[in-house]
Amino acid sequence: MQIPHFPEANHPLVKSLFHHSDQELVKLFQQHPEAGRYFTAIFCRYSPIVYTLIRHSARSPVQADYLFALTWRHIHYEMGGLNLEAASASQEALTLQNWLINMTAYCINEIELLPTEAIHYSLKTTSPPLRCYVEQALEQLPGMLRLIVLMAQTFHWSETRIAAYLQAEGDAISPNEVANFLQEGYRMLEEKLPADVRTIYLGENLALQASK
């Protein structure tokens, strides 16, 4: 079994956090929800363990990659309320590693996976942390823009097909207007991504962003 390599582990913003303890990274993640680097550093530290557990339980590599992404989405959501200090004060000390293993086991047992042929997710194209923050940004888009972006990206529908669907739903909209909505949706989506996530994954310059 080959454990995937994630290039973001070599990004200076992520590498600069490697000296932090697990507990420090969790605290920084919780204290700075506008930043994505802390979650990305945790992901880079523990992705081999999580992937190994998942790969042994999934029927195919495609399902394994998809479950891996869904598991990290669940971890991202649950980590906001994680308190390792309180857990350490109890009889059984809880480490981040143990907590992540528990979260992974939960996802393996509870998430019902789509058949391999119905999965269109590519781990090489979209790393789980980027996927988490893109989904978070999507939730902040106005309803119509979010729907159009999802139809274009998830179902790969053309502007004409999206317009036809919306017209059938009672929205008088032309393919040209769909194209304009898409451009605006992509612009807003990128704008709502954390600045450091854009730097790590999209290659943007953080100093330039700060000066805007």
Q: Is residue 94 in some structural domain? A: yes
pLDDT of residue 88: 53
> Which has the closest alpha carbon to 151: 143, 113, 129?
143
> What domain range is 151 assigned to?
140-211
Say if residue 150 is in the same domain as residue 185.
yes
Q: What is the pLDDT of residues 25-37, one digit of tens each?
A: 999 999 999 999 9
CA distance 145 to 162: 12
Q: In tens digits, what is the pLDDT along the chain, a chain of 212 residues?
A: 788 999 999 999 999 999 999 999 999 999 999 999 999 999 999 999 999 999 998 889 999 999 999 999 999 999 999 988 765 555 566 899 999 999 999 999 999 988 888 888 889 889 999 999 999 999 999 999 999 999 998 888 999 999 999 999 998 899 999 999 999 999 999 999 999 999 999 987 654 344 33
Residue 132 lies in a domain: no
In a domain, 164, yes or no: yes
Residue 15 domain flag = yes
What's the pLDDT at 209?
44
Domain contains 126: no
The number of folded domains in the chain is: 2
Same domain, 112 and 167: no
Please check whether residues 116 and 13 belong to one and the same domain. Answer: yes
The verdict on 19 and 91 lying in the same domain is yes
**Same-domain pairing of 182 and 78:** no
Short-list 55, 72, 53, CA closest to 64: 55
Distance CA 94, CA 125 (A): 34
Question: Are residues 146 and 87 part of one domain?
Answer: no
Secondary structure of 37-48 as H, E, C letters:
HHHHHHHHHHHH
Domain at 60, CATH number: 1.10.1740
Note whether 148 and 182 are within 8 A (CB): yes
Instruction: Write down which residue in 54, 85, 120 finishes a domain.
Output: 120
Is the distance from CB of 122 to CB of 153 less than 8 angstroms? Answer: no
In a domain, 127, yes or no: no
